Amino acid sequence: MQTFLQYTILGLALGGAYFIAASGLVVTYTTSGIFNFAQGAIAMLAVFTYWQFRWGWGWPAPLALLMVLGILAPLLGAVLYQVVMKNLRGTSEVTKIIVSIGVMLGLQALATWVWNPTSSTPRQFQKFFGPNAFAHFGSLRVPWHIIISFIIAIAIAVGIRFLFVRTRSGVAMRAVVDDPELLQLNGGRPERLAMISWAGGSFLAALAGILIQPMIGSAMSAGALTLLVLDAFAAAMFGRLRSLPRTFMGALIIGLTTTYVVAYFPSKWTWSSSFRNSLPMIFLFIILLVLPQDRLRGATVLRLRERFRMPSVRTAWIAGLTMMIVVFCLKVIMAKTGVNTLTLALTFAIIALSLVLLTGFAGEINLAALSFGAIAVMVVYHFGISGTGTEARTTLWGILLAAVVTALVGALIALPALRLRGLYLALATMAFGVFISRMVLTERSEREIFGLKFTLFTSGQLAIPRPKIGPIDFNGEDAFLFLCAGLFVVIGIGMVYLRHSGYGRRLTAMKDSPAASATLGMSVVRLKLSIFMMSAAIAGIGGVMMAAQVGTVNSDRFDIFLSLALAMITVVGGIGYVSGALFAGIFLIAFIETLNLMLKKFAVDYSSLEAIFMFFISAVTVLPATIGITMGKNPSGAVSDIVEGMNKVKQSKPLMITVIGLEAAIWALTATEVITNWHFVILTFANLILVPMVGGKFLMARAMRGVPKPVPPELIGIDRPFTDEDLAAMDQALNLDGVVIPSSTTVREEPANASA
């Protein structure tokens, strides 16, 4: 009984803290329509900042609290909204999710930068009034911290309810989501309200973090904290991101179950701690299963800002061929480490292709691509390897089996979200990813189930050899590089074919307007399921290739944050394009790696400037996230910009010849070892980006010489007289084909007559 009461109180307090975080999510979601994946990261940052003030600098608790909760957290929320989230109106759900994930990764990188996790002194975070402050109820001893947490949770619940239902600004906040324009017409200020709610949401996240951290009692870790408040997602889902009372209930259930598992599961069950850790994810999954079907809605925005033009199949073949040639040329000049980096980048690009297929073509999101890779790797490890020692090779059958298994697992994951919108599938996949990390990849010792002895993730290290397919052995670095490049090209071209097929058009229809698709008789379930399975299988194959390149993989290789970063960078690259996936692989692996190496080399070479270079090395860790955050400004991705630039080159022969000629020269100089590979990288970058830019401007200026500047339409007739072409253009625009205009200047004084 004593234990029961003790753990019930603990569970209630934990649930209360979950609720606080979850209510922050609900508040920001209802007012800005953005599901804030960074909620956990904000909490994490607040915990670290509070630690710094309270114990790092020894401030008194009230002052530290005031500083963190009263000033910094709301400020962060407001700034996030003003600088980042405000730009997201009119973008797709995918972009919204990706940008908030960018914020999450950015804050996390920032925290590890400032509070170095490898520092020697462990950071201790204590309960309010210290670890020994207890309240006594008869024989029951309850820490004051626990009591305070629960009281605050109830106060917040009542307060928010009051705010939303009874106050003018609360009602206005709810109106923001329904129709911001209408609210504006009625004198409301949606932007300001959304900003306030973001400040509030950030405050709630910070509060939840400070309450939760001492309850879990372990050392502070940026990653764990960021994911911990993810558990609040599950609670928010209970209330379907709308109902606060139900969110409160959900949070309590999750809190209580978690503590009961700790209290009552027999200690000999070695898996109970990983089960405890993945419990909220299991909850989230179950809730997604039972949520009622979404009302089918039309596109919420009339025209998205994202634009993707699918290349023709012919273009895809040419691009594929070009890529193989480029890979070959690079291989010739590159050192062995370079080849390895490039191969790894290509394996990530293959995984990213799965995202292009799913998100770019079908509008659904998978935030745990690498977890599917992990499944595939486990399948290959157990069933797909022939030979031993240096003769060990991954078999073709092993790879195919892995693809089939990942596809089936993919179907299982997608099942709950099939009836729901993209956000819910994103959450389901994220729950799956965390579940895999916490529950499956921790299965390092042997288990016996129904007499079958089995280890899932043997000793935490899986050795995956390179494949041998038929008579061809891909064990060599170069052979494997070409295999990966070839695989990427084949899958990529296959995807372009797919996009131009009836199946691809149906996918596009489903993505562009679910409502219209349904009223044309489409049942989306099978379509969604098939595309998700296909995508999972590609992720699986990519994962196996990645593991084969690395050699021996541990669970870090399939970290959820890496999956998130990959998804983010693919969207940055251009989620609608096959080349977006290539961009993601190259950027995330090769570019970042090269940049790091370069900076480290400089730091050694110019030791007097070491501090500056070390700073840049840290800054590089924040770079991907920073780029992700800029998505709001350019939702179509970087590739579409590059394509625009390339189009300029294509249109102008001299420019094209210059660029290709220069590149060939740079390559030849490198191949003959006149210049080093570093020079090659820098010069290539300059040649491909800067020359088209400068050359384009120059050519444009020359072509424009003698041609007068175009006059804006409203100034025609004022700055210069009307011409017949102007009138024809206007007629066309106004649909006035049949109207005959006498060809004299008198009518042109009053063009309005034309429509009479």
Tokens of 454: 């089995």
Work out which of 523, 743, 744, 746 binds another protein, going by CB under 8 A: 523
If one asks whether residue 689 binds another protein (CB under 8 A), the answer comes out as no
Taking CB under 8 A as the binding criterion, the range among 219-227, 247-255, 506-514, 640-648 that sits at the site for another protein is 506-514
If one asks whether residue 308 binds another protein (CB under 8 A), the answer comes out as yes
Least distance between another protein and beta carbon 92 (Å):
11
Least distance between another protein and beta carbon 577 (Å):
13
Residues forming a β-bridge with 553: 462
Taking CB under 8 A as the binding criterion, the range among 262-270, 484-492, 517-525, 582-590 that sits at the site for another protein is 517-525
Contacts of 530 (CB under 8 A, 6+ apart): none
Query: Where does residue 58 rank: exposed (0-12), middle (13-18), buried (19+ CB within 10 A)?
Result: exposed
Instruction: Specify the residue, 118 or 523, whose C-beta has the smaller distance to another protein.
Output: 523
Work out which of 735, 744, 745, 746 binds another protein, going by CB under 8 A: 735
DSSP 38: T
Instruction: Specify the residue, 127 or 511, whose C-beta has the smaller distance to another protein.
Output: 511
Across 544-581, b (16+ Cβ under 10 Å) vs e yields bbbbbbbeebebebbbbbbbbbbbbbbbbbbbbbbbbb
User: Maximum Cα–Cα distance for the chain, whole Å?
Assistant: 103
Contacts of 83 (CB under 8 A, 6+ apart): none
Least distance between another protein and beta carbon 575 (Å):
13
- Residue 395's SS3 state is strand
Instruction: Specify the residue, 180 or 624, whose C-beta has the smaller distance to another protein.
Output: 180
Tokens of 652: 């102008």
Least distance between another protein and beta carbon 296 (Å):
5
H helix or E strand, kind and range, residue 29: helix 2-32
DSSP 132: T
Work out which of 114, 518, 611, 686 binds another protein, going by CB under 8 A: 518
If one asks whether residue 305 binds another protein (CB under 8 A), the answer comes out as no
Least distance between another protein and beta carbon 246 (Å):
17
Least distance between another protein and beta carbon 180 (Å):
17
Specify the length of the chain in residues.
Answer: 756
Least distance between another protein and beta carbon 238 (Å):
22
- Residue 136's SS3 state is strand
Listed residue (413, 417, 416, 378) closest to 398, CA to CA: 378
Amino acid at 20: I
If one asks whether residue 712 binds another protein (CB under 8 A), the answer comes out as no
H helix or E strand, kind and range, residue 43: helix 39-51
Least distance between another protein and beta carbon 391 (Å):
49
R_g over Cα of the chain: 29
Least distance between another protein and beta carbon 517 (Å):
7
Taking CB under 8 A as the binding criterion, the range among 30-38, 40-48, 448-456, 513-521 that sits at the site for another protein is 513-521
If one asks whether residue 521 binds another protein (CB under 8 A), the answer comes out as yes
Work out which of 520, 664, 668, 671 binds another protein, going by CB under 8 A: 520
- What Å distances lie between residue 708 and 645, 702, 724, 726, CA to CA? 24, 12, 17, 15
Instruction: Specify the residue, 266 or 521, whose C-beta has the smaller distance to another protein.
Output: 521
Least distance between another protein and beta carbon 510 (Å):
9
Least distance between another protein and beta carbon 419 (Å):
10
- Residue 311's SS3 state is coil
Work out which of 1, 302, 335, 452 binds another protein, going by CB under 8 A: 302
Residues 588, 602: Cα–Cα separation, whole Å: 21
If one asks whether residue 554 binds another protein (CB under 8 A), the answer comes out as no
The residues in 443-502 that bind another protein, with binding defined as CB under 8 A, are 502
The residues in 642-661 that bind another protein, with binding defined as CB under 8 A, are none
Q: What is the DSSP annotation of 246-298?
A: HHHHHHHHHHHHHHHHHHHS-TT-TTHHHHHHHHHHHHHHHHHHHSPPPPP--
Instruction: Specify the residue, 522 or 754, whose C-beta has the smaller distance to another protein.
Output: 522
Instruction: Please say whether the beta carbons of 533 and 407 come within 8 A.
Output: yes
Least distance between another protein and beta carbon 298 (Å):
5
**Strand 472-473, strand 452-454: pairing:** unpaired
Place of tokens 């209330």: 239
Instruction: Specify the residue, 144 or 308, whose C-beta has the smaller distance to another protein.
Output: 308
φ and ψ at residue 547, rounded to 5 degrees: -65, -40
Instruction: Please say whether the beta carbons of 485 and 327 come within 8 A.
Output: yes
If one asks whether residue 298 binds another protein (CB under 8 A), the answer comes out as yes
Instruction: Specify the residue, 505 or 679, whose C-beta has the smaller distance to another protein.
Output: 505
Taking CB under 8 A as the binding criterion, the range among 20-28, 128-136, 293-301, 580-588 that sits at the site for another protein is 293-301
The residues in 580-609 that bind another protein, with binding defined as CB under 8 A, are none
Q: What is the DSSP annotation of 431-488?
A: HHHHHIIIIITT--S-EEETTEEE-SSGGG-EE-PPEEETTEE--SHHHHHHHHHHHH
Residues 471, 289: Cα–Cα separation, whole Å: 46
If one asks whether residue 299 binds another protein (CB under 8 A), the answer comes out as yes
Least distance between another protein and beta carbon 363 (Å):
10
Instruction: Specify the residue, 200 or 514, whose C-beta has the smaller distance to another protein.
Output: 514
Instruction: Specify the residue, 2 or 300, whose C-beta has the smaller distance to another protein.
Output: 300
Count of residues of this chain found to bind another protein when the rule CB under 8 A is applied: 28
Instruction: Specify the residue, 518 or 711, whose C-beta has the smaller distance to another protein.
Output: 518
If one asks whether residue 303 binds another protein (CB under 8 A), the answer comes out as yes
Across 218-257, b (16+ Cβ under 10 Å) vs e yields eebbbbebbbbbbbbbbbbbbbebeebeebbbbbbbbbbb
If one asks whether residue 140 binds another protein (CB under 8 A), the answer comes out as no
Least distance between another protein and beta carbon 314 (Å):
17
Instruction: Specify the residue, 245 or 298, whose C-beta has the smaller distance to another protein.
Output: 298
φ and ψ at residue 459, rounded to 5 degrees: 50, 20
Taking CB under 8 A as the binding criterion, the range among 168-176, 202-210, 304-312, 487-495 that sits at the site for another protein is 304-312
Work out which of 79, 296, 329, 622 binds another protein, going by CB under 8 A: 296
Instruction: Specify the residue, 187 or 502, whose C-beta has the smaller distance to another protein.
Output: 502
Least distance between another protein and beta carbon 356 (Å):
14
If one asks whether residue 508 binds another protein (CB under 8 A), the answer comes out as yes
Q: Find the helix packing angle between 477-499 and 313-333, rounded to 10°.
A: 170
Work out which of 400, 412, 490, 515 binds another protein, going by CB under 8 A: 515
Work out which of 512, 641, 644, 724 binds another protein, going by CB under 8 A: 512
Instruction: Specify the residue, 134 or 308, whose C-beta has the smaller distance to another protein.
Output: 308
Residues 455, 410: Cα–Cα separation, whole Å: 22
Work out which of 343, 517, 549, 555 binds another protein, going by CB under 8 A: 517
Instruction: Specify the residue, 604 or 728, whose C-beta has the smaller distance to another protein.
Output: 728
Residues that bind another protein (CB under 8 A): 295-296, 298-299, 302-304, 307-308, 502, 505-506, 508-509, 511-513, 515-523, 735, 738
